[in-house]
Structure 1
Amino acid sequence: MSARPELVLASASPRRVELLALVGIVPDRIEPADIDESPQKGETPPRLAARLAVGKAGAVAARSPDAVVLAADTVVAVGRRLLEKAADEAEAERFLRLLSGRNHRVLTGVAVAAGGKVRHRVVDTRVTFKVLSDAEIAAYVASGEWKGKAGGYGIQGRAGAFVTRIVGSYPAVMGLPQPETVNLLAGAGWRAS
């Protein structure tokens, strides 16, 4: 039996490392991909999530052609409007006001590059926030939890108290849908031992 190929996680997200560990997967190496994450003109949220995941996997695979490379990216959308990572406190507050009392979509693209092929999936989860008070918004923004998070919030922290309904994958909202990830890795011939 041949040795299992090296698994490289093309992400700097500690949350993705934790989510992988929960299903028994420990990357051999972490190598974040540096690609342009700007949405393209007319690009829909699902296509953006897929393009970013595939682009990150491909960029790292080009440097590590014998490895299995796993990448993911999460996009938050209200209708066709994308809520990227908030740049500052004012933008985080605007995002929370927009999400308050509304449904939104969290789209997480996952891609696995191996043997010159890239396979990917996009998981679409619907999330509903309660109506947020000014005090709740101010406290959340002051907490700093919004930093580096698509949509300006992290469901696994204080913002979990804002969620009244979720239809889809909770781990995908956190940044990595576990069943789809395990299946993509298996399809590429990589299995946890």
Structure 2
Amino acid sequence: MPGDLRDLITASFDVAAADAWSKFEVGEADKLVLHEAAMKVLKVFPGRMPGLCALMSGLYSLALEKLGSQRVYVVAGSLYIGDKRIFGEDGEFDGKRAFSESNIDWNGHAWTVYGDWLADVSVCRTADAGSPRLLSKYIAKEIGKGKGLLACRMASMDPAGIRYTPQYVLTRDQVDAVGRGALAMIDKLNGTGSQ
């Protein structure tokens, strides 16, 4: 995954950003930042809400950047359990177009990458909602119900378990737009949005 991801970061940002990403290794203080930012996002999104991966990942990346020391990347692509695709499609995915539209219509998954770690604040919430069943069963067995954050070093991921396949890295403008969308949804859920 890192070789492909480096190319995707370069395409959406530049070579310097990809170089900085590839050199950053998450330390103990960074793990606390991953957790603290996740708790902020998970507090504002009620549990068992599927289909919010882009919104939650965008907001999570913004929270991480406020607390952390390095740039965070929101990655879009496919999610697998072993060789079974849960979300996403094979082949080309025009992320530049998809994430530049106000209503994102796409069957993939989004997560964040912080240095050599992958962090996903939405997959457990989606699994807790019960569908897709294979994802729900896997998360319940391997992580547990009612969890919020899946975070681990990318190199330690078991290819026979949950597997993330990156296809696009959102640009800064796209992350900001998705983050604004997340905040608008939170306002609406809380009844504080404009009528």
Instruction: Establish whether TM, by shorter chain, passes 0.5.
Output: no
User: Which band: TM-score by shorter chain?
Assistant: 0.3 to 0.5
Higher normalized contact order (CA 8 Å, seq sep 6+, divided by chain length): 2
Q: Which structure dedicates a bigger proportion of its chain to strand?
A: 1
* Larger-gyration structure (1/2): 1
State the TM-score, normalizing by the size of structure 2. Answer: 0.33
